[in-house]
Chains A and B, each alone.
Chain A
Amino acid sequence: MFNKKYITLAAVLFAVPAFSADVQITGTVQSKCSIFTDIQGVYGSPLPNTLSTAPEDGGVDPVFRIDVAKAGYYIAKVTTPTEFTSSPALTDSVTWTGSVSISEVSDAGMSAYETSKVEYETTTEYDLAIAGTTWFKASSKAEYGVDKSLPAGSYRSAVTVECVAK
């Protein structure tokens, strides 16, 4: 009787507690295509009627990059400017030219993007078939009227970069 009581007491005192815990699984769905702006462009003015982002014209080409986490899901579209977002009042037409090229890649296979790109009007399309990072460089040139000087002031425009799901 005495033993039974002590055995029960010992069992209560030294019982190993049983813990149960839920092991959580958490996850976050992140964007599979991200557009990063690395370098803002700057217009140089090599001639009185010309603005250009080309380094030889005193400008800076805008550089941006697109990160693709999963291959084959997105198309990149880059459109060079066809108008100023802000400028002094202009009385004549502006002729726009622009181009887009790949400046750096994180995967050697992405070098094929340049040969398979599709160009129409002022837009260049790239099929982002490989996961990783691609750096793009856009150049823009604006020529004003015929033998006319651009009015003094600041000129701004925008390159549009798109990630479109396939």
Chain B
Amino acid sequence: MLKYFAMLLFPLSCAAHEQTPTYPELKYSYVEGLSFTTINVFNRRDDVKYFAIQVFDEEWKKIDFGGVSRVVFIDYLDKKDIDIYIKDQDRGRIKYVCTKSKLLKEDVKFQAVSSRICSKIK
């Protein structure tokens, strides 16, 4: 009970990395031969401003993808929609779309916590 009370009192004292949706959908792009999906990342980590996008298959092997950038800048308390394009031939392989916090060397004061959230393509 006390824990919930403390969480209510200090909701902004923590830093979080959030990503939606949990299960994104692959759609066909207007560009022939490409499919895409969109994820939304919300940065509530004041120590992180860059997030790397990663796409994996079921065996956690990397899959090539296209987009604005492999590493996106998302300011503190900012949200960003990120479009991820893959080849149609990889539609059956793609399983996880992840974003991983990238810490700048000068920002790491101690032992840092790197966060990664993965959505699953169903």
A residues adjacent to B (C-beta < 8 A): 29-38, 40-43, 53, 60, 62, 64-65, 67, 73-74, 81, 85-86, 104, 106, 133, 140, 156-166
Contacts and interface: CB of A to CB of B under 8 A. Distances in A.
Interface in B1-49: 3-4, 7, 14-23, 42, 44-45, 47
A35 B117 contact: yes
26 contacts: A29-B20, A31-B42, A33-B19, A33-B117, A34-B17, A35-B16, A35-B115, A37-B16, A37-B113, A40-B109, A40-B110, A40-B112, A41-B112, A41-B113, A43-B110, A53-B111, A74-B22, A86-B105, A156-B105, A158-B112, A159-B111, A161-B114, A162-B117, A164-B98, A164-B120, A165-B22
Residue among B19, B21, B23, B111 with the most chain A CB within 10 A?
Answer: B111
A31 B19 contact: yes
Given A156-B112, A158-B108, A162-B117, A31 B20 contact: yes
Interface string B93-122: 000101010010100111111111111100
DSSP majority for the B interface?
strand
A40 B113 contact: yes
Interface of B: 3-4, 7, 14-23, 42, 44-45, 47, 96, 98, 100, 103, 105, 108-120
B111 A62 contact: yes
B119 to A, nearest CB: 5
A104 to B, nearest CB: 7
Contacts of A156: 105, 108-112
